[in-house]
C-alpha cells in the first residue's frame, strides 16, 4: 500500500537515503531541506510524488506552518521522520554558549516542535507513526560529544514519555539509534576552537582518530536506511532500533554497567523510604 512520509533533514545522509528508496518504490514524500537545490535531481524524477520544503527546524513558526500545509495538501501522512540534526565535537570548556544553544535548538527543540505540530493531525486521522532518528549516543557517551549527547539523551526521554501520552490514539514511535556510519555526518561536525591543555586527553584523542583515519567506521548507511524502512513498515514497529555491531556492543556494555551500579547501591537506595510501619502510622 502506498504511504506518505514527511522527512526532515532530507538533503543528505539517512534522510536523503530514505527519500530515494521510498520514492523508488512508489510512496509519496514531503522532504524538508535547508539547502536550495539539494533535491533537484529527485524532484525532476519524481515531481508528482515528491514535495520539497525549505525549512530550518529552529524556526518554530515555519515548522508549524510546514506541517499544517503538508497535512492540508496530502490529507494523510502515515510516517513522520524526525531526522534533522548535526554534531559538535569538542570539550565543554571549548564549546561556546552559542554553540551549546544552537545544537539544543536544532537537535532537541527542533524535533520536539516538529512532533508537537504533527500530533493534532495524527490524532485527528486516528493513527500514525513517528520515527525519531537519535543515535547510539542517546544511550552511551563519548568524550568530546557532550552537547550532542545532551540533545540525544534529551530527545529519547521526550519520546519515552510522549509515547505513553498518545498511546490511546494509536500513534506509535520508533527511536532509531545508528552507530557510526559512512555518511557525511563527520564532515558536518562543528569543531570548537581547541584548548591545548586538552591535548592527549580522551576528547582530543577521539577527535584525532575521527579526523585522522584512526577510527574505522563499519556502518553501511544504505543497509541502515533499509533497516529503518523495514522496521517502520512492520505490523508492530519496534520502539527502539539500534543499528551496527559496535553500537550493540557499546550500548550493551553501558546498560550492564548501569545495572551494576544500580545493584551496588541498592541498600542505600531503598533505605531512604518510609518503613511500612511509618506509613501505616501516618
- Name the residues annotated as catalytic: 134, 148, 152
Instruction: Give residues with Cβ within 8 angstroms of 160, minimum separation 6.
Output: none
Exposed/middle/buried for residue 5 (C-beta within 10 Å: 0-12, 13-18, 19+):
buried
- Distance, CA of 154 to CA of 111 (rounded, Å): 10
Instruction: Give residues with Cβ within 8 angstroms of 38, minimum separation 6.
Output: 11, 12
Distances (CA, A) of 11 to 22, 44, 75: 14, 15, 24
190: left (phi over 0), alpha (psi -120 to 50) or beta: beta
- Distance, CA of 142 to CA of 267 (rounded, Å): 30
Asked if 177 contacts 136 with a C-beta cutoff of 8 angstroms, the reply is: yes
**End-to-end CA distance of the chain, in Å?**
60
- Distance, CA of 216 to CA of 199 (rounded, Å): 21
Amino acid at each position: 500500500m502506498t504511504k506518505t512520509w514527511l522527512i526532515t533533514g532530507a538533503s543528505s545522509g539517512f534522510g536523503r537515503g530514505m527519500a530515494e528508496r521510498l520514492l523508488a518504490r512508489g510512496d509519496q514524500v514531503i522532504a524538508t531541506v535547508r539547502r536550495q537545490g539539494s533535491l533537484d535531481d529527485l524532484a525532476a524524477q519524481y515531481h508528482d510524488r515528491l514535495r520539497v520544503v525549505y525549512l530550518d527546524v529552529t524556526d518554530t513558526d515555519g515548522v508549524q506552518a510546514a506541517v499544517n500545509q503538508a497535512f492540508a495538501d496530502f490529507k494523510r501522512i502515515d510516517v513522520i521522520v524526525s531526522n534533522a540534526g548535526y554534531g559538535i565535537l569538542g570539550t565543554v570548556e571549548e564549546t561556546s554558549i552559542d554553540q551549546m544553544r544552537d545544537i539544543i535548538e536544532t537537535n532537541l527543540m527542533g524535533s520536539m516542535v516538529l512532533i508537537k505540530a504533527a500530533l493534532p493531525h495524527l490524532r485527528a486521522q486516528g493513527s500514525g507513526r513517528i520515527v525519531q532518528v537519535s543515535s547510539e549516543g542517546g544511550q552511551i557517551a563519548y568524550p568530546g560529544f557532550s552537547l550532542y549527547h545532551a540533545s540525544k539523551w534529551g530527545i529519547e526521554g521526550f519520546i519515552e514519555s510522549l509515547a505513553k501520552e498518545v498511546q490511546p490514539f494509536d500513534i506509535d514511535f520508533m527511536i532509531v539509534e545508528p552507530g557510526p556510519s559512512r555518511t557525511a555526518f563527520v564532515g558536518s561536525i562543528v569543531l570548537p576552537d581547541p584548548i591545548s591543555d586538552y591535548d592527549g586527553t580522551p576528547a582530543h584523542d577521539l577527535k584525532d582518530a575521527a579526523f585522522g583515519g584512526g577510527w574505522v567506521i563499519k556502518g553501511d548507511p544504505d543497509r541502515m536506511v533499509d533497516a529503518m524502512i523495514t522496521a517502520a513498515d512492520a505490523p508492530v514497529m519496534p520502539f527502539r532500533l539500534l543499528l551496527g555491531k559496535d553500537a550493540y556492543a557499546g550500548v550493551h556494555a553501558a546498560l550492564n554497567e548501569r545495572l551494576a551500579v544500580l545493584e551496588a547501591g541498592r541498600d542505600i537506595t531503598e533505605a531512604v523510604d518510609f518503613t511500612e510501619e511509618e506509613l501505616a502510622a501516618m
